[in-house]
Amino acid sequence: MTIDDYERAPTVAVEDRQPALPEELRKLWETKPGFLGWLSSVDHKEIGIRYIITAFAFLIAGGVEALIFRLQLAGPNLHLLTPEQYDQLFTTHGMTMIFLYAGPVLTGFSNYLWPLLLGARDMALPRLNALSYWIYLCAGIFLYAAFAFGFGPNDGWFNYVPYAARAYNNGPNIDFYSLGMILLGISTTVGSTNFIVTFLRLRAPGMSINRVPILVWGTLTAAAANIFAIPAVSLAFFLLWMDRNLGTHFFDVPTGGQPLLWQHLFWMFGHPWVYAIVLPAMGMVSDGLPVFCRRPLVGYTVVALATVATMVLGFGVWVHHMFATGLPSVSLSFFSAASIIIAVPSAVGVFAWIATIWTGKPILTTAFLFFANFIVLFTIGGVSGYMTGSVPVDWQLTDTYFVVAHLHYVLIGINVFPVVGAVYFWFPKFTGRMMDERLGRWNFWTMFIGFNVGFFPMHISGLLGMPRRVYTYADGMGWDWLNLITTAGSYLFAIGVLMFLINVVRSYRNGPPAGDNPWDAPTLEWATSSPPPPYNFVVIPTVQSRHPLWEDRLGGETPGHSYVHAGLVLDHGRETVGTSPLDAEPDIILRMPKDSFAPLILSLTLTAIFIALAFNIWWLAIVGGLATGADIIFWLWPERGLGETAEPATNG
């Protein structure tokens, strides 16, 4: 085995009869031990776990911010916080939860799970994967460093002009927010590209697109939406930064600008983003819930199509955030209709999940409780969203606590509950240990009761006219006891989250061993060991159905027989098989990159540019730009080992 040619006849083998193969693959794929190995790793599992842990750190930060300002709002006329402190706290809370937690945590799960679900050895572009994590981390630190120095964003997470303009907001707060969001947008774009390419090229042989798990559909849809939507918000923030720093006139009226341009650009991104941070979570439920109902998901095809349809419609509803801005009534009618129609594909999932429980034999694990009650919360959040899709109702409720209630039912109900359920479900795979079910029940009920006690009264305070974003309120408005209940509920919810964190730490240390497939689940990630080896699968599986591990019991419902422990060997270096986009016919042996420092260095040089722009240090921006360019050239230099140059690929 010295030199491979440009093409090769791959070998196939049965896993059990290759005792030396696992060790051979481990040597090829394992990240070097130690800190330097950690910094250079491109293993999707490592990156996925980092994403999840970092996102939870931001969830805790954002949660603590909320607990502080809920104290301020517990009663009328309280002055725990100054108005400026309150503005920064609630804006940073929104920014953190929406941008630094809700999106990245789902990216983390998908990063970890995708190659395992698809029967691949890594993501299609492993170094880009590392890059997207490092930029995310840098952007999060960048935004939080500004907050720590008292320069956090202070204009609400959607940052409307003119209040965000220099004339009304003179500090550097909005500059940091703008630049941090552009940096974060790069990370999201990079990650989304990687998901799409992985979906199109790295599915196991035979895994045609109608056989991928729904989580894959959810994340794919979100990633595709990000590709088209992220440029809108990055551009909006860049134009705002130029208005504030270079004297341009995009958003100020006297010289021909228009404040509503901000709202259009922001919500053209913002509404698709809302779906991007819930569709993958719905996918996790669509895959996890049926396992505890002991049957396949009802209506796989319609759920997959509804996922895509929701997103397509989601690009045509952004104006429902702007009903009160004085747009022409024909525009309001169109966007109101679109916002109401979107309830149809959204409801498809609800009926599919209910039917799955109804016709299954539910096992009431903690994960099941989180997944099943997500349906309840999603329905409540969906109905309040449907209500505000109607223009006259929206005129009454916009900028009140009703909207706050709606968005928390949607984001906590459809993101946090499925995510916590997903941790209970996949923790055994991540760590090889089970989580504590008893503490899990306490965890679930505390969170569920705390959440509803905390957020349901907000509907009522909104209907009673309480505006959002006020730092305090007068007594005698009928809002006092509702706010007290909300604050009490939010603390109960926080205790529930704390129980979850305690359960994670305790189970990680002392949980009972899980085995490969503790839930007797049907998809490929459960076919490998827990935690999975660096190479994921000893041989590449061949897939003939949606439920490769349930084929014996589903009998005639599956078209053929999958092979999970017999298949392509691919041990001439880091390799995985590339397959055709629709039918997953093998068409290439892909050479995968080794661990590399290039992603880390690139994210540091990029961050240097953004720091330079924040402080207007132009020489540093130029140096950062040159270093970034040099790093990219180094990264893309054609490599023999990756089969990019005229000499044949070697094993080296």
Partner 1 sequence: MASRIALDGKLPVGAIDTRASGWWAMIFVVFTEASLFAYLLFSYFYLAVQPHLAGTFPQGGPPSLALALPNTAILLLSSVAIGWAQFNIERDDNRRLCWGLGIGAVLGMIFLVIQYFEWAQKPFTLASSSYGSLYFTVTGFHMAHVVVGVIMLWMLFAWSAMGYFNRVRYAHIHIGALYWHFVDAVWLAVFFTFYITPLLGMGS
Residues that bind partner 1 (CB under 8 A): 4-14, 17-18, 124-125, 128, 189, 192-194, 196-197, 200-201, 227-232, 234-235, 239, 242, 246-250, 255-258, 261, 264-265, 268, 569, 572, 575, 577-578, 586-591, 629, 633, 636-638, 642-646, 648-649
- For residue 649, the minimal CB distance to partner 1 (Å) is 5
Dist. CA 284–CA 192, nearest whole Å: 18
Measure the CA dihedral 388/391/396/400, to 10°: 40
Helices 401-411, 366-388: crossing angle, 10 deg rounding: 140
Give the side-chain half-sphere CA count within 13 A for 269: 24
User: Closest CB to partner 1 among 235 and 488?
Assistant: 235
- Which amino acid is it at 527? A
DSSP 8-state secondary structure symbol assigned to residue 648: P
Inter-residue contact 157 to 95 (CB < 8 Å): yes
Cα–Cα distance, 351 to 318 (Å, whole number): 26
User: CB 87 → partner 1: shortest distance, Å?
Assistant: 28
Quick one: 248 or 396, whose CB is closer to partner 1? Answer: 248
CA angle 490, 494, 497 (to 5 degrees): 140
Going 202 to 204 to 210 to 212, the CA torsion angle's sign is negative
What's the distance, Cα to Cα, between the start and end of the chain in Å? 11
Minimum CB distance to partner 1, residue 548 (Å):
21
3-state secondary structure of 400: strand
Q: Is the peptide bond before 362 cis (omega within 30 degrees of 0)?
A: no
Identity of the residue, 8 or 294, whose beta carbon is nearer to partner 1 in the bound complex? 8
DSSP state of 556: G
* Closest distance to partner 1 from the beta carbon of 326 (Å): 14
Q: Which is closer to partner 1, CB of 257 or CB of 541? A: 257
215-253: b (≥16 Cβ within 10 Å) or e: bbbbbbbbbbbbeebbbbbbbbbbbbbebbeeeeebbbe
- What's the closest the beta carbon of residue 44 comes to partner 1, in angstroms? 14
CB of 615: closest distance to partner 1 in angstroms? 21
Of 34 and 256, which CB lies nearer to partner 1 in the complex structure?
256
Rounded to a whole number of angstroms, the minimum distance from the CB of residue 6 to partner 1 is: 5
Dihedral, CA of residue 593, residue 595, residue 597 and residue 598, to nearest 10? 10
Closer Cβ to partner 1, 531 or 586, answer by number: 586
Minimum CB distance to partner 1, residue 210 (Å): 21
Nearer to partner 1, 330 or 633 (CB): 633
Nearer to partner 1, 52 or 120 (CB): 120
Between 242 and 627, name the residue whose CB sits nearer to partner 1: 242
Fill in the amino acid letter for 347.
Answer: A
Residue 8 CB, nearest approach to partner 1 (Å): 5
Please, which residue, 246 or 330, has the CB nearer to partner 1?
246
CA torsion, points 468, 395, 338, 225, in degrees to nearest 10?
-20
**Using CA atoms, how far apart are residues 91 and 152, in angstroms rounded to an integer?**
8
Which among 491, 473, 492, 470 has a CA at the least distance from the CA of 481? Answer: 473
Other C-beta atoms closer than 10 Å to the C-beta of 616 total: 11
Instruction: Using the minimum distance from each CB to partner 1, give the nearer residue, 465 or 586.
Output: 586
From the CB of 640, what's the least distance to partner 1, in Å? 9
Q: Is residue 470 classed exposed, middle or buried when 0-12, 13-18 and 19+ CB atoms within 10 A define those classes?
A: middle
Minimum distance from CB of 305 to partner 1 (Å)?
22
Nearest-CA neighbor of 53 among 42, 61, 65?
61
CB 567 → partner 1: shortest distance, Å? 11
Q: State both tokens at 241.
A: 């930064």
Q: How far is the CB of 54 from partner 1 (least distance, A)?
A: 24
In this complex, which beta carbon is closest to partner 1, that of residue 308 or of residue 642?
A: 642
Cβ within 8 Å of residue 386, ≥6 positions away: 339, 340, 343
* 438 to 85, 115, 419, 433, 503: CA distances (angstroms): 40, 32, 19, 15, 10
Nearer to partner 1, 2 or 255 (CB): 255
